[in-house]
Amino acid sequence: MTSAPTHAKGLEGVIAGETEICNVEQSALIYRGYEIADLAENASFEEVAYLLLVGRKPSASELESFENELKSERSIPDSVRSFLKTSGDLVHHHSAVPMDLLRTGVSMLAHLDPDCQDNSPEANLRKSKRLLAKIPTIIGHMQNAIDARDFIEPDSSLSHAANLLWMMTGEKPSDEAVKVMDVSLVLYAEHDYNASTFTSRVIAGTLSDLHGAVTGAIAALKGPLHGGANEAAMEMLAEIRADIGHENDNAKIHAWMEKAFADKRKLMGFGHRVYKNGDHRAPILHGLGRKAAEARGEEFVKLFDLGEEVQRIMETEKNIFPNVDFPCGMTYYTMGIPVPQYTPIFVASRITGWCAHIMEQHANNRLIRPRAAYVGPATRNWND
């Protein structure tokens, strides 16, 4: 019997294609030539969305018309609104979680988009902008239905980040909260061939449509090894808090971590396939989140203190660093966002990266079809 050809489990280290959109390196994270810390400091999410979707930095007038276009596309069709009205029932009495409802909402939008079956660059860009504009509305309406309240309508005086917070909570967010949300969206926007983006490229590579590719990407992002880690990280911190009590007793935190190591638990929000010395996005969000916690009060500062101790133990004992999802969990919690909406918010940002990749795939397509190393039974006869 011949042995199976070698392969990289999980495609680790495999270069699966080219992209002009993003470069993920140990030393830097770069969107179309701009370093992530530069973007987080100096660019709005809308500017980054334009950069990713159109391919270059917008002029002031291009940005203004892009922002206006997005605002004019925020409302969603009646049939999708009717579906979202059932969110409370689906979440409270059945098995749905917000990521599933968002996936269905996006899939429904496909049926009503006049460009749905058109994969031309112009149609793809129009569809990308519509999805970017409408996803916060789906998230907001869904949360309103889960909270058993009337739908809060989009507010065209607000930016993407501010409108997202407004629609979920019904409260006009502070400038500080908008800034934190905006930066988190910048940080989440793009990350080369991560699992969900690769999923979207595989789907687009069959010449399937943009909405279908995005729907598949949402399903891929949901998992806790990928985007679902921001929710899982916060759930883990809540579990530690429930186990050790309200005070941050370092001996108890240490004991909790030692047990987790002994049980070979994967600690959520830590580790990365590419970044082995730390995720460039994590300290940026951690700094902003910590500042927000200090403004909100002791309970939130204690949460960050707990997270920092967990992080210190992971780094010193395992040499494993937090990824962006770890500070994200604590930051969104501090902002009062319901935990099951953390990954949908990731979608409200990553939709830009996915759509950029889908357009890049369609523009220079070849079917993505790798092979598998067969390790099943040798050939045999059905009648033996």
Of 75-83, 87-95, 96-104, 260-268: span binding ligand CMC (CB under 6 A): 260-268
Q: Which of 280, 251, 266 is nearest to 186 (CA)?
A: 280
Residue 325 Cβ vs ligand CMC, minimum distance, rounded to whole Å: 5
Residue among 130 and 191 whose Cβ is closer to ligand CMC: 191
Residue 324 Cβ vs ligand CMC, minimum distance, rounded to whole Å: 6
Residue 261 Cβ vs ligand CMC, minimum distance, rounded to whole Å: 8
**Of residues 54-113, which lie at the interface with ligand CMC (CB under 6 A)?**
none
**Of residues 271-330, which lie at the interface with ligand CMC (CB under 6 A)?**
271-273, 320, 323-325
Residue among 85 and 226 whose Cβ is closer to ligand CMC: 226
Residue 320 Cβ vs ligand CMC, minimum distance, rounded to whole Å: 5
Determine the Cα angle at 17 with ends 5 and 21, to 5°.
155
Residue 269 Cβ vs ligand CMC, minimum distance, rounded to whole Å: 5
CA–CA distances in Å: residue 186 to residues 71, 183, 190: 18, 5, 8
Q: What are the CB-based long-range contacts (under 8 Å, 24+) for 359-363?
A: 359/53, 359/121, 359/124, 359/125, 359/128, 359/210, 360/19, 360/20, 360/21, 361/200, 361/201, 361/204, 361/205, 362/119, 362/121, 362/124, 362/204, 362/207, 363/121
Binding residue for ligand CMC, selected from 21, 210, 268, 345, defined by CB under 6 A? 268
Residue 57's CB is within 10 A of a number of other CB atoms, namely 15
Using CA atoms, how far apart are residues 192 and 30, in angstroms rounded to an integer?
Answer: 10
**Of residues 139-178, which lie at the interface with ligand CMC (CB under 6 A)?**
none
Residue among 154 and 216 whose Cβ is closer to ligand CMC: 216
| 137, 75 Cβ separation under 8 angstroms | yes
Using CA atoms, how far apart are residues 66 and 162, in angstroms rounded to an integer?
Answer: 16
Residue among 141 and 272 whose Cβ is closer to ligand CMC: 272
Residue among 214 and 324 whose Cβ is closer to ligand CMC: 324
Of 43-51, 72-80, 135-143, 263-271: span binding ligand CMC (CB under 6 A): 263-271
Residue 65 Cβ vs ligand CMC, minimum distance, rounded to whole Å: 32
Residue among 124 and 230 whose Cβ is closer to ligand CMC: 230
Of 72-80, 92-100, 146-154, 262-270: span binding ligand CMC (CB under 6 A): 262-270
Question: Is 267 a binder of ligand CMC (CB under 6 A)?
Answer: yes
Determine the Cα angle at 83 with ends 79 and 159, to 5°.
80
Using CA atoms, how far apart are residues 263 and 271, in angstroms rounded to an integer?
Answer: 17
Residue 233 Cβ vs ligand CMC, minimum distance, rounded to whole Å: 7
Residue 167 Cβ vs ligand CMC, minimum distance, rounded to whole Å: 23
With CB under 6 A as the rule, give the number of residues binding ligand CMC: 19
Using CA atoms, how far apart are residues 384 and 370, in angstroms rounded to an integer?
Answer: 33
- Enter the DSSP assignment of 12: T
Break the chain down into helix, strand, coil percent, rounded to 5. Answer: 60, 5, 35
Using CA atoms, how far apart are residues 217 and 376, in angstroms rounded to an integer?
Answer: 30
Of 31-39, 153-161, 176-184, 267-275: span binding ligand CMC (CB under 6 A): 267-275
Binding mask 190-229 vs ligand CMC (x if CB under 6 A, - otherwise)? Answer: ----x-----------------------------xxxx-x
Of 83-91, 117-125, 264-272, 293-301: span binding ligand CMC (CB under 6 A): 264-272
Q: What's the token pair of residue 219?
A: 């399903």
- What DSSP string describes 327-360? HHHHHHHHTT--GGGHHHHHHHHHHHHHHHHHHH
Q: Which of 321, 314, 323 is nearest to 254 (CA)?
A: 314
Binding residue for ligand CMC, selected from 31, 256, 270, 354, defined by CB under 6 A? 270
CA–CA distances in Å: residue 256 to residues 206, 248, 268, 346, 367: 47, 12, 14, 29, 47
Residue among 197 and 361 whose Cβ is closer to ligand CMC: 197
Residue among 215 and 349 whose Cβ is closer to ligand CMC: 349
For the annotated catalytic residues, the residue numbers are 226, 272, 325
Binding site for ligand CMC (CB under 6 A): 10, 194, 224-227, 229, 266-273, 320, 323-325
